[in-house]
Amino acid sequence: MIKEQSAIEETKGVQVMQEDRSWKAELVRYLKDAIIPDDPIAAKRIKFKAARFTMIGDELYKIAINGPLLKCLDKERAEYVLKEIHEGSCGNHSGGRSLA
């Protein structure tokens, strides 16, 4: 089956604003350079959260309990990956039940 159109409707005319600080910026600073926030509560939070993450090169990975390392993506890249997965060969798969 060849798809004529994408299953994803693209929105046109939307301006995407990039955040200067992503959710992982403080973790990366702590893991790479041991820089913690001045606020003691925020510093404690970063140290606690950083125990579940690691850096390989310049990439941040979450350490899964019983699985592989999970690469941390920024919002834009994560949305792209989700679109690719949902638009792939199983994009129109209806699951165990067929539609009548």
Note if the pTM is more than 0.75.
Answer: no
Residue of 84 and 18 predicted with greater confidence:
84
Strand ranges, E, within 57-99: 59-63, 69-71
**Would you place residue 100 in the very low, low, confident or very high pLDDT band (cuts 50, 70, 90)?**
low
57 has pLDDT over 60: yes
The per-residue pLDDT for range 11-55, each reduced to its tens digit, is 444 444 455 466 788 999 999 999 998 999 999 999 999 999 999
How far is it, in rounded angstroms, from Cα 68 to Cα 10? 33
In this structure, are strands 69-71 and 53-56 parallel, antiparallel, or unpaired? unpaired
Predicted pLDDT at 67: 81
Q: Supply the pLDDT for residue 94.
A: 60
Integer angstrom CA distances of residue 95 from 41, 46, 58, 69: 46, 41, 38, 28
